[in-house]
Structure 1
Amino acid sequence: MERFSESKRKPLHEIFSTADPVFRSDSCPETLSLSEAVKTLSNTGTTKKVRRAPRRGAALATSIASFLGIVITTYLGLLAVTFFIGRVVPIDPVLAIVGDRAPAHVVARVREEMGFNLPYYQQFFLYVKGVLQGDFGTSVLTTNPVMTDIRRVFPATMELATVGTIIGAVFGIPLGVLAAVKRGSLVDQIVRVIGLVGYSVPIFWLGMLALLIFYARLGWTSGPGRIDITFEYTFTPITGFYVIDAILQRDWPALKDIVSHLILPSALLGYFSLAYISRMTRSFMLNELEQEYIIAARAKGISETRIIWGHALRNAAVPLVTVIALSYAGLLEGSVLTETIFSWPGLGLYITNSLQNADMNAVLGGTIVIGSVFIALNLVSDLLYRLLDPRTRAR
């Protein structure tokens, strides 16, 4: 009490000056009114905010520069790998164009026109320049520009991978949540076995088995291909995505046939996506269910359904965005065997046919497109992760 009374009798400027130097008044060294002290406090807070603004701007600029650096470095790495592959494979691209029986002077002239007589660093520069301009060369198999062929076949691959990812997410997330909630039970073991089969069984074996059962024996689905031959000359694609095109044209018989062809290969890809998504969902949910806020929610009497689906899954959804994006990218690059088995006219089948015919321009062009999409999806998922999780914005 004595100390309090002594400090109470002290002048106001002495009390503030001992607390923080910013409260000292140079104009009135002996006294400092309460209004001046409040004004000083307000000015101090404003000054701190002003000081923080340049720091935030610098952090944002650093983050953007780092992001662009990652994009450029990754893409140059992709181009370097494809360039190296195109030079070490035992296939002469010049002979693939002019033929084995072409005269020597014709081979030399074509080699010079294509720039293969230049040093490797100059060839790589021309290669990067052509790729950035969308010029992958001419396909030996179709005699069309490779980019024209890719524009024609890539929508089929995207449609297949999109439907497969939707199937995997719609069924994989609930299965993962159920396995986490019923941890150690029979349900958990069944879900884990489903995921294990999806990881371990070869996709070409499952594809042939699915064709044998659902097409040849049961007749529930259509066979290989994207559309029946009866609609091939009457159906006109608009966007390249046949499901959307059939809906836009209100061609319901064609839509039924397209879905009948699409369901089996997309379900096969969706099963592999389901295996990955369900496993990761289970892992994320187990981590969330052990957090303190879940215990507090249960102590407050909140229903278990709301805790699981409204709180735990909501927080687990942030990393799930990255998982689903990676699953989609994986289906895009891993659809080669599926498209080959089901004769699906997508980018995977295009690359396979080009590789069998030594068409390296088409092979490398398709590889670059798939790699570019993979890089873009990774970057978009990273941006979404930072946007949805405030804790990562300061990194």
Structure 2
Amino acid sequence: MALADNADTRRPNRAPLSRASWSVIKTVLSTIGSVAVTLLGLLLVTFVIGRVMPIDPVLSIVGERASQSTYDAVFYELGLDKPLLVQFLYYLWDVLHLDFGISLLNARPVSEDIVRVFPATLELATVGILLGVVIGVPLGVLAAVRKDSWIDQIARVVALIGYSMPIFWLGLMGLLIFYGILGWVGGPGRVGIFYVDVVPTVTGLILVDSLLDGNIEIFKDAFSHIILPASLLGYYSLAYISRMTRSFMLEQMNAEYITTARVKGLSEWDVVWKHAFRNIRVQLITVIALSYAGLLEGSVLTEIIFSWPGIGSYITTALLSADMNAVLGGTVVVGLIFILLNIFSDLLYKIFDPRAK
């Protein structure tokens, strides 16, 4: 009995998990489950699209003049003879291992092609969203603070034009004016033809790689090429961000606590930026994250017009060539980006909003 008592005294006390710990665990599990369900739904949709498209994947590989025996061999090799459920499970297994198949255009793995082209889209969209945020947020705030003034009218017109004008038309006009006539910016492509593959690829972002290499000349050339298409994307996001910022700020400026702050004698700067703007940060995070995801996914026309070798051009070229492996692989990557950015915005939401902790 004495030995048992001594053993009990040496046994560490294990306190039960607190309510906060259980809350964190439930939040993490809920997030993982939501991501898993969303990703599964995305993969199911892409799989169905690949099967209902009026494109025969076997003919895309062997050609229309192939013999029946060759056709049958490739048909069985692709597993198309198996039930759809089995095919989907195979597809799911391959995607989870980042295996999107082989591209019909260049006979390379699609995953390698995506790794090669995605940094170009990431760089273009990042510069675009930075321009949209830096200009759009202050413009929306000023429009709300100076409601119905000339600043507000300009902000409305800017947003209206950004929503109304087709981006491909703006791109063509931009190339004609700023490149063809004025010569202020570089032409299509990421760099001039003499600078292609000169800078060692480290990140895939040519602006960053040129700085890491210490080549200021290539950095300037790359910047002259990216500034026009990034400005167009930035203008598109600016229209949305400024409009939403104005709407959020108007709601806050009419609140009672703003009147109280002014009665207390606070400066207009403190009232606007330290009180009203602080309360819309969480909403703006979601708006900016969705806008950024939209630029990463929706820059197809911009990439085509400016011959930008990004994932949008890659998917479009693959679709026109009936390369469904490349199309579905790019679609899955774009969908995954949306999921990750939503998770990131939720995390920032919980950081900036104490009520969500």
- The alpha-carbon deviation at position 236 of structure 1 amounts to 2.5
Shift of 1:188: 1.0
Quick one: which amino acid aligns to residue 187 of structure 1? I
Kindly provide the amino acid, as one letter, of the partner of residue 292 in structure 1: E
Residue in structure 2 matched with residue 107 of structure 1 by the alignment: 71
Trace 1:1-395 onto structure 2 (pairs within 5 A). 54-393=18-357
Paired residue for 2:5?
none
Once residues 112 and 328 of structure 1 are traced to their aligned partners in structure 2, the CA distance between those partners, rounded to angstroms, is 42
In structure 2, the residue corresponding to 1:139 is in which secondary structure? coil
Partners of 2:241 and 2:27 in 1: CA distance = 29
Cα distance between partner residues in 1 of 2:198 and 2:257: 59
Deviation string for 1:177-204 (max 9, x for gaps)? 0110011222212201111111121111
Q: Distance in 2 between matches of 1:381 and 1:63?
A: 15
Give the Å deviation of 1:223: 0.7
Q: Residues of 2 paired with 1:194 and 1:291: CA distance?
A: 27
Supply the AA of the counterpart residue of 1:125: L
Give the secondary-structure state (helix, strand or coil) at the position aligned to 1:220: coil
Shift of 1:292: 2.3
The aligned amino acid for 2:54 is P
Work out the CA distance in 1 between the residues paired with 2:210 and 2:327.
31
Conservation of the 8 A alpha-carbon contact between 2:281 and 2:352: no
Residue identity in the other structure for 1:123: Q
Q: Deviations over 1:135-178 (max 9, x none)?
A: 00000011110000000000000000000000000000010001
Contact 2:135 2:238 in 1 (8 A): yes
Paired residue secondary structure (2:173): helix
Opposite residue 92 of structure 2, the aligned amino acid is V
Separation in 2, partners of 1:356, 1:113: 24
Please name the residue that 1:13 is paired with: none
Aligned residue pairs total 343
Gaps of 5+ in 2: 1-14
How far residue 100 of structure 1 moved from its aligned partner, in angstroms, is: 0.8
- Tell me how far 1:233 sits from its aligned partner: 4.3
Match for 1:135: what amino acid? D
SS in 2 for 1:100: coil
> Can you list the C-alpha shifts for 1:4-28, whole angstroms capped at 9, x where unaligned?
xxxxxxxxxxxxxxxxxxxxxxxxx
Please give the TM-score of this superposition, normalised by the length of structure 1. Answer: 0.85
| Aligned-residue offset at 1:89 | 0.4
Any idea what the Cα deviations from partners look like across 1:319-358, whole Å, max 9, x if unmatched? 1111111111000000111000000001011111111111
Residue matched to 2:3: none
RMSD: 1.3
SS of match in other structure, 1:206? helix
Structure 1 Cα separation of the partners of residues 297 and 101 of structure 2 = 22
CA distance in 1, matches of 2:75, 2:354: 55
Percent of aligned positions that are identical: 57
Q: Could you report, residue by residue, the CA deviation over 1:67-107 in whole angstroms, capped at 9, with x for unpaired residues?
A: 11110110011001100000000001111011111111111
Q: Partners of 1:234 and 1:187 in 2: how far apart?
A: 46
| Helix, strand or coil at the partner of 1:101 | coil
Is the 2:131–2:238 Cα contact (8 Å) retained in structure 1?
yes
> Residue 332 of structure 2 aligns to which amino acid in structure 1?
I
- 1:61: Cα distance to partner? 2.5
Q: Comparing both chains, which one has the higher relative contact order based on Cα–Cα distances under 8 Å and sequence gaps of 6 or more? A: 2
Contact persistence 2:199–2:213 (CA under 8 A): no
Cα distance in 1, alignment partners of residues 33 and 176 from structure 2: 49
Return the offset for 1:57: 2.9
CA distance in 2, matches of 1:354, 1:371: 17
Deviation at 1:293, TM superposition (A): 2.1
Cα pair 2:249 2:280 within 8 Å, conserved: yes
Instruction: Give the conservation status (yes or no) of the 8 Å contact 2:158–2:239.
Output: yes
Q: Please tell me whether the aligned partners of residues 303 and 309 of structure 2 are also in contact (alpha carbons under 8 angstroms).
A: yes
